[in-house]
Amino acid sequence: MKTTRDIVLISAPQKYNDRIEIEGGTIIYLDTSFKPQHHVSIKGIVEAVPGLLTPSHYANGTLEMELEVGDEVYFHYLTIAPDNLVWHEDKEYYQVEYYNIFAYKRDGVLHMNGGWVFVEPVKRESRFGNFIVPDAYKQNTSWDVGKLRHIGIPEKDQPTLDVSEGDYVLFTKNSKFENEVEGEVFYTMQQRDLTAVLDESALSEFE
């Protein structure tokens, strides 16, 4: 089975995060009918991928197909919704645009998808002295800092960034949103939202 128009079909064995395990192995079950969007799962399994990717308003450039059937994926929290529900051969699937899939897990290894990155939140001081910041950003205080944890290949026609996993990076505050992945909370954003890298002299303040 193949899809069209950049649509990926995913199955969601668990639609909502409806339980919490506390110390001692005790499980607390949550009532997800109250504010269900706060409990919705962002994880599923790829069941079908498109034969071709096209440019989208979600991306400046086109992308290489990275997903395969069977991959475990992390996607936008609005994916598990009635409007995205489809049925095929009596099985329930959800459709999600390729560009709204942030990461995939294959053979136990997490990979970023479609130019997305995961950044670990860190506490920062409100000063510029230890940062390498382009002149255009020196008068702008609407930025934040984090530790780059996962980065993949860039979009086509986009430059490969001179950053590595483990670098402390700057980004604008309105470019990020939080997701919990593999038990950790990450800021999720596009590679093009990273604006600068911390100078080495500042690293000790964040370790």
Residue 91, token pair as written in the block: 């099985």
Tell me how far apart the alpha carbons of residues 116 and 73 are, in angstroms, rounded to a whole number. Answer: 13
Mind listing the pLDDT tens digit for each residue in 153-204?
776 666 677 788 988 888 887 777 888 898 889 999 988 888 888 776 655 5
Residues 6+ apart with CB under 8 A from 196: 131, 132, 133, 134, 137, 169, 170
Instruction: Output the pTM of the full model.
Output: 0.77
Question: In terms of CATH architecture, what is 7-112?
Answer: Roll (2.30)
- Position 108 scores a pLDDT of 93
205 phi and psi angles, rounded to 5 deg: -70, -15
Tell me how far apart the alpha carbons of residues 173 and 206 are, in angstroms, rounded to a whole number. Answer: 18
Q: Radius of gyration (Cα) for the chain, nearest Å?
A: 19
Mind listing the pLDDT tens digit for each residue in 101-140?
999 999 999 999 988 999 998 765 444 445 555 444 444 5
What stretch(es) of the chain map to CATH 2.30.33.40? Answer: 116-206
Would you give the DSSP letter of residue 159? P
Tell me how far apart the alpha carbons of residues 195 and 136 are, in angstroms, rounded to a whole number. Answer: 10
CATH number belonging to the domain at 116-206, selected among 3.40.1190.20, 2.20.25.90, 1.10.3210.10, 2.30.33.40: 2.30.33.40
CB 10 within 8 Å of CB 94: yes
